[in-house]
Amino acid sequence: MEDHLRPFLAVARQLRSRGHEVVFYSDTNSAPMIELSGFRCFPFQKMDPAPLHRILSQLRSENPKRLLVWRLWREFVLDSVPGQLEDLRSIAAEWRPSVVVSDVSMWSTFLVLNESEGIPVVPFSAAAHCLIPGPEGFMSGMALIGPATVVRRIAAKAGSQAADLMTRGVLRQANKFRADNFLPPLTCSVKQYSSKMPLYLVSSSPNFDRMRQDLPDTVQYVGPCFEEALEFPLRHRGDSGTLPARILVDRGMPFARPRFLQLASSSLSGLNVETEFGDAFSLFGSLPAANLVMTNGNSAMVLAALAYGIPLLVVPDSRHSSENAWRVHEQGAGIRISQCRSNFHALRKAVQQILGSDAFPRNARLVAESFRVQGGAARAAELIEKAALTMVCV
């Protein structure tokens, strides 16, 4: 998945510029991009990426089967652990790393490898919000909006208990893998355990992530990690008698919903706007001149648009994109429209509301500043470098 790979490439370049040798372990489909960037790629051998490809196929459909996606996702992150371990141990025998920077979906690294092989692991999340569960973020996509009232705390606790019940089978299987590698069982969820690594990186900012106070000190926000230098927009908001507004319509990664694209196109018809369709990375070069981004709320586009201070109109189509949409709404950096309420009139009204207000771009700029001060790929590389010198395995 390109949206997960790009931040890793940005951090890898920063590490290389600091004199470190970096290699990748990834799917053969990603190898050309990795090697074009000048890095060696160890391809999956025993690890089977087929479940992930089937997940993407489902998510690209107009009406994905959510239960099937959940089963395939569990198969990808959990059932692939033995294959990942076999591959990684083979790589370590040839090229032993000082530290492994791991996508949070590669569970073998922090579930087993960290302890069994004595190799420090740094989980790195490309999501726009921290995925670690807790009282303030118990289940992705289930936003608890408003002040920290007694009712909200009770709802959070109930939600956490429900999430534990739903994932009990996952923990049982994860502990079986640990037992097979002579490791003690976990007493918390796998996601919670990943935050017990000496360093856990998040591609966001505390401000955008609701200033969560329930995360351990190991969690460090580094903001979006891009390879390109950001330049703020130069264009002015378009209205009658001025330059047309520039609107980018994001096809979504890895999603591509025909209905959303058709609605977006029809809702913009007749307005004084210029429109460009693409995905997060094909549209990246157009962001400096944009006034608005319409998207499904995938993290790659939400982070990129807000890093440039561009307001968003979000029609979320998954739990993770819903979480991003709520945060955009809470920050006043855009408008969230649910799938069931997305129609021609709702989208057109939201577009006109965003383009007709100075508040949305102003608030988006505030989010951009909160991202900028986190340091991006350069700070991520610095933290990884320090961790490699000082961290000990869990």
Same domain, 163 and 301: no
Is residue 342 in some structural domain?
yes
Q: Quick one: pLDDT at residue 242?
A: 63
Same domain, 279 and 202: no
Distances (CA, A) of 75 to 10, 50, 52, 154: 29, 10, 9, 32
Same domain, 356 and 386: no
* Domains: count for the chain: 2
Position with higher pLDDT, 143 vs 319: 319
Is residue 72 in some structural domain?
yes
Cα–Cα dist 178/15, whole Å: 31
Is residue 240 in some structural domain?
no
Q: Quick one: pLDDT at residue 251?
A: 81
Position with higher pLDDT, 160 vs 334: 334
Same domain, 196 and 105: yes
Same domain, 176 and 116: yes
Is residue 230 in some structural domain?
no
Same domain, 37 and 166: yes
Q: Quick one: pLDDT at residue 65?
A: 62
What 34-42 contacts at long range (C-beta under 8 Å, 24+ apart), as own/partner pairs, is 34/5, 34/9, 37/9, 37/12, 37/13, 39/9, 39/12, 42/87, 42/91, 42/95
Cα–Cα dist 370/207, whole Å: 7
Cα–Cα dist 288/308, whole Å: 7
Cα–Cα dist 329/391, whole Å: 38
Is residue 282 in some structural domain?
yes
Task: Provide the 3-class DSSP secondary structure of residue 148.
Answer: coil
Lowest-pLDDT choice from 142-146, 149-153, 189-193, 384-388: 142-146
What b/e string do you get for 366-392 counting C-beta neighbours within 10 Å, with b at 16 or more?
bbbebbeebbbbbbbbebbbebbeebe
Q: Quick one: pLDDT at residue 141?
A: 43
pLDDT band at 235 (very low <50, low <70, confident <90, very high): very low
Query: Does residue 238 surpass a pLDDT of 50?
Result: no
- Model confidence over 239-286: pLDDT tens digits? 444 679 999 999 875 555 677 888 899 999 999 999 999 887 788 889
Q: Quick one: pLDDT at residue 47?
A: 86
Q: Quick one: pLDDT at residue 146?
A: 45
Q: From 291, 200, 194, select the one nearest 244 (Cα to Cα).
A: 291
Same domain, 277 and 218: no
Percent of the chain with pLDDT over 70: 80
Same domain, 385 and 361: no
DSSP-derived pairing of the beta strands 245-250 and 121-125? unpaired
pTM score, whole prediction: 0.88
Dihedral sign from CA coordinates of 92, 24, 13, 114: negative
Residue 111 has which token pair? Answer: 């579930």
Query: Does residue 302 surpass a pLDDT of 80?
Result: yes
Same domain, 21 and 135: yes
Same domain, 383 and 358: no
SS (H, E, C) 209-223: CCCCCCCCCCEEECC
Residue 315 has which token pair? Answer: 């029609």
Query: Does residue 383 surpass a pLDDT of 90?
Result: yes
Cα–Cα dist 312/218, whole Å: 31
Is residue 358 in some structural domain?
yes
C-beta separation of 270 from 317 below 8 A? no
Task: Provide the 3-class DSSP secondary structure of residue 26.
Answer: strand
- Mean predicted lDDT score pLDDT of the chain: 85
Cα–Cα dist 128/298, whole Å: 8
Query: Does residue 124 surpass a pLDDT of 80?
Result: yes
Cβ-count burial of 192 within 10 angstroms (0-12 exposed, 13-18 middle, 19+ buried)? middle
Same domain, 290 and 219: no
Alpha helices in 131-223 (DSSP H): 150-166, 168-180, 190-194
DSSP-derived pairing of the beta strands 219-221 and 121-125? unpaired
The boundaries of the domain holding residue 96 are: 2-223+375-390
pLDDT band at 387 (very low <50, low <70, confident <90, very high): confident
Crossing angle of helices 319-331 and 359-372, in 10° steps, is 110
Same domain, 327 and 210: no
Domain harbouring 327, CATH code: 3.40.50.2000
Q: Quick one: pLDDT at residue 69?
A: 62
Pick left, alpha or beta for residue 211 (phi over 0 → left; psi -120 to 50 → alpha; otherwise beta): left
Is residue 231 in some structural domain?
no
Is residue 217 in some structural domain?
yes
- Model confidence over 172-191: pLDDT tens digits? 999 999 999 999 999 999 99
